[in-house]
Amino acid sequence: KKLFSFLPKRFCGVALTESALMIPIKSISGIIGVGEHVNYKPYFCDECGRKDCTYKAFRKKRSTSTIKGKRT
């Protein structure tokens, strides 16, 4: 709700219901920092505490299937 409070109503054709559901339902929202003083820190899986993360399992499988710099 906070993100939508900065935007005009129905910005880009997307509205927010009282229960914070975006309409159309298949809409997504996010914030991207742009500018000279934006700090960027790459995301490392070791910092995440999730044990069931699909992305973490994919990265682990991908790194173990690499032999001499070539993926198999």
User: E strand or H helix at 66, and its extent?
Assistant: strand 66-67
Per-residue pLDDT of the chain (72 residues; tens, 9 = 90+): 888 888 888 888 888 888 988 889 888 888 788 888 877 776 677 777 777 888 777 777 766 655 555 554
- DSSP letters of 8-64? -TTGGG-EE-TTS-EESTT--------STT-------GGG---SS-HHHHHHHHHHH
Task: Report d(CA 47, CA 55) in Å as an integer.
Answer: 13
The domain spans of the chain are: 1-29
Whether the CB-CB separation of 62 and 71 falls below 8 Å is answered with yes
